[in-house]
Amino acid sequence: MENCCVQELAAGTVGAPDVPSRYIVRGHQDQQLATTVVAPVPVINLGLLSKQDGGAADEAAKLRSAIDSWGLFLISNHGVDVAVMDSMMAATREFFRQPLEEKQRQSNLIGDDQYEGYGNYEGYGNDQVSSPDQTLDWTDRLYLKVEPEDERRIALWPTHPESFRDVLHEFTKKCGAVKDDLLRAMAKLLELDDDDYFVDQLVVKPLTNVRCGYYPVCPRPELVFGLTPHSDGTIVTILMVDDSVGGLQVLRDGVWWDVPIVPHTLLMILGDQMEIMTNGIFKSPVHRVMTNTKKERLSVVLDYSVDSEREIEPSAQLANEKRPALYRKVQVKDYIVEHYNHFSQGKEVVMGKLKI
């Protein structure tokens, strides 16, 4: 029970302002110093970006600048209906509102199937514990594979609220199209011969996971992380964050910036697989989530990854005599395991190990 679940733990801390030592972060004195400055992250109008006229060029320039400066950006006019977004958020909220026993029907502690070396990650719960001295994050999550569709473990998909499964299916389908449009726009920015270069990496067998995250209020936000600093191990990640509670921060030039909230936009974060494939021209930003004493926070996160059996390496067009390959070829499976081990030990980046 100890690592399941923070929501219960937080409810128990009311009037007793302490957090268990397993959640207390050591060696991160900068925690209280988090800046309150909001990062001026651009909002990319996807409708404009996808047009074949002058407006698209301006939007593409904005996208390039966002990627170079932040490694993440907001997306408006993305084609995911407001109703679908709101339903997805409401279904997530409703799921977490249930009593613990109900949520534990989807527990990630049930079953013994192992996922490529880092355990059975699907289901509901707190962090998977891989070592006794691991610092745990102040968050619970419901983690599900959504693609390939025939690998969905539907028994772990909530039936409360009743709409959950349909809404998740719809939301992920729509976000998938957004992801493809942006991957094409990125290939164009890099002047790759094939606009579908990145999209094709996901065609044979895509790997898409969703993480519905719940960050309870915390009596001592300065001592814990909602989510440990990390870069995403994905090609790209799409997030729908709580539109009333902040907490997501991005590291730039040694300073933590708040990621802005613009209701009904989506947030895209570039992942390590993108950094490898672009030979470091696009970089995956380090980010984290901070908690607060006042209000719970929710997020719905879609991870897009190349199939774990495949290998990735810098694109031949981006690694050449002028710009030698910076990263080695790596099997995605090996990378994900390494990435997870780093993350659970509170180490921020693993990319250095792939440097040539």
Whole-number Å distance between alpha carbons of 265 and 82 = 9
248 touches ligand AKG by CB under 6 A: yes
232 touches Fe ion by CB under 5 A: yes
CB of 249 to ligand AKG, least distance (A): 9
227 touches ligand AKG by CB under 6 A: yes
Q: Which residues contact 173 (CB under 8 A, 6 or more apart)?
A: none
Nearest in space to 315 (alpha carbons), one of 268, 269, 281, 349: 281
Q: How many of the other CB atoms lie within 10 Å of CB of 173?
A: 14
DSSP string, 101-119: HHHGGGBTTS-----TTS-
Nearer to ligand AKG, 139 or 201 (CB): 139
Task: Determine which helix (DSSP H) or strand (DSSP E) holds 61, and give its type and residue range.
Answer: helix 54-69
CB of 227 to ligand AKG, least distance (A): 5
Nearest in space to 73 (alpha carbons), one of 81, 85, 61: 61
Nearest residue to Fe ion, using CB?
232
122 touches ligand AKG by CB under 6 A: no
232 touches ligand AKG by CB under 6 A: yes
CB of 58 to ligand AKG, least distance (A): 28
* Cα end-to-end span (Å), the chain: 43
Nearer to ligand AKG, 229 or 314 (CB): 229
CB of 325 to ligand AKG, least distance (A): 27
178 touches ligand AKG by CB under 6 A: no
Nearer to ligand AKG, 88 or 289 (CB): 289
Give SS3 for 77: coil
Q: Which residues contact 336 (CB under 8 A, 6 or more apart)?
A: 116, 118, 233, 305, 308
- Give strand pairing partners of 227: 289
DSSP string, 151-199: G--GGGS--SSTTHHHHHHHHHHHHHHHHHHHHHHHHHHTT-S-TTHHH
Nearer to ligand AKG, 197 or 304 (CB): 304
Nearer to ligand AKG, 168 or 192 (CB): 168
Give SS3 for 251: strand
- Which listed option, Fe ion, ligand AKG, none, makes contact with residue 342 (CB within 5 to 8 Å by class)? none
289 touches ligand AKG by CB under 6 A: yes
CB of 159 to ligand AKG, least distance (A): 24
Nearer to Fe ion, 59 or 232 (CB): 232
Nearest in space to 301 (alpha carbons), one of 37, 89, 76, 50: 89
- Which listed option, ligand AKG, Fe ion, none, makes contact with residue 241 (CB within 5 to 8 Å by class)? ligand AKG
Contact residue for ligand AKG among 46, 199, 301, 325 (CB under 6 A): 301
Tell me which residues touch Fe ion (CB under 5 A): 232
Tell me which residues touch ligand AKG (CB under 6 A): 211, 213, 227, 232, 239, 241, 248, 287, 289, 299, 301
